[in-house]
Amino acid sequence: MAELWRLCAADIAALVRARQVSAREVAVDTLERIEAVNHRINAIVDYRPEEILQRAYRLDALLAQGEDPGPLAGVPVSVKINTDQASFATTNGSVLQEHLIAASNSPAVDNLIRAGALLIGRSNSPTFALRWFTDNQLHGKTLNPRDPRLTPGGSSGGGAAAVAAGMGPLALGTDIGGSVRYPAYACGIHGLRPSFGRVPAYNASSPERAIGPHLMSATGPMARTVNDLRLALAALSKHDARDPWHTSVPLSGTLATRRVALCFRPDGMPIAAEVEAALRNAALRLKDAGWQVEERERIPSLTEAASIQEQLWLGDGFERLFSSVERDGDAGAQAVVSGIRPAVAGLPSDVVARALVRRLTEARKWQTFFVDYAVLLVPVSGELPFPDDLDRQGPEGFRLVWDAQLPMRAFPAVGLPGVVVTTGAVGTTPVGVQLVAARFREDLCLEAASDIEARSEPVTVVDPC
């Protein structure tokens, strides 16, 4: 079967499990696609063809013996360079970690392997995952396959670009301030940031993170179909004892109401006309699918949640981060730490303790809000995907990026799930919307996203320029 790389994850798994296509055929086809297009966009920065083929042979052998290799049988998946994958360097895009070789897999990677996935390579990320742009001194720049003048997003930009360009239908990313959701938006695909505690995470290669990042970082998938996000989430959510925060909660629950709250300008933030048009269009699609959409001028404060996110992220260990960025020398990372340093300079010594109390208050407000609404529909960003490296264009460029990303920065502070669903394009520039629900209600986000997707043109693989 030709061009298996064009297929979604669910179709590949079904064909492999039915033995209509071998895992080896999928692996060979994907490797050929990587060889054909990766040099144009630099999305996959390390991969080992022989190991991929050996894994495919083992999957085919299991099938020949009548065994079930798992729901992701033969599905190619890329893994972000800040996530432990045994025998690969967890570089996090830094020259300081070039030789930090992982001795074991992270729980999410182990869950992918148990589900039968083919791990086809390491996807690029900015230095220390600090930017909404993907570039570093160690691996170089990743380009957006839909338009190289635009950012591919960050920090999981390599994974999103790989999915958009047909180098695997799934990519594994991480998100503490939009790092799964924004690359999906920028590359014209879909992305899921799961709830806090849904997907187990742990990097044995690295020191324990401070409490703030622990409470806010999430590992999640990017894909060209919403159903593939659902399939990946089921595989990734399996319990792993190495993550004390992990909670085994059913992946679906009751739908008490099909009400959607639509907020165009959370806290009065400005949005581009094209962003507003995408939200209105998504609302119409949801209404057509039977959802009741209610416009809300006010919702719980995203500004407050984003302030908490900033203080939990930077209130403990910023000077260590600043020192590491200076030693690494990456100009993009330096622009970020310089841009946020004024906000950190005056923080009190007990800022994290205070932020944790504020976090509880805001989380309560959101949980109460979602008693009345199944889903919140909001912008992904206040702007269309940025011109590449906009954050390095002086203080004005950095501030424009930072302010536009309010909907990216806020929700991790209160542990809520979010799905970004692409809704089309303005010329060559992708556009989409963000759906948010109560904690552990990814199923509601995905249901609404499916209804939007069903009334859109299918996302197809793009040949990079």
As a whole number of angstroms, the distance between CA 145 and CA 164 comes to: 7
Active-site residue flag, 179: yes
The catalytic position among 22, 80, 324, 381 is 80
Q: Which string of b and e fits 26-50 if b means at least 16 CB within 10 Å? A: bbbbbbebbeebbeebbbbbebeee
Q: Who's near 427: CB < 8 A, 6+ residues apart?
A: none
As a whole number of angstroms, the distance between CA 314 and CA 327 comes to: 18
* β-pairing verdict for 292-295 and 170-175: unpaired
Active-site residue flag, 155: yes
Active-site residue flag, 252: no
Q: Which of 411, 424, 437 is nearest to 280 (CA)?
A: 424
Residue 19 exposure: Cα atoms within 13 Å on the Cβ side: 11
Place of tokens 């013996």: 65
Single-letter amino acid, residue 358: R
As a whole number of angstroms, the distance between CA 283 and CA 265 comes to: 15
The catalytic position among 123, 179, 205, 307 is 179
As a whole number of angstroms, the distance between CA 336 and CA 313 comes to: 13
Contact 396, 335 (CB under 8 A): no
The catalytic position among 155, 195, 205, 324 is 155
Written as six digits, the tokens of 313 are: 């992220």
As a whole number of angstroms, the distance between CA 394 and CA 204 comes to: 37
Q: Which residues are catalytic?
A: 80, 155, 179
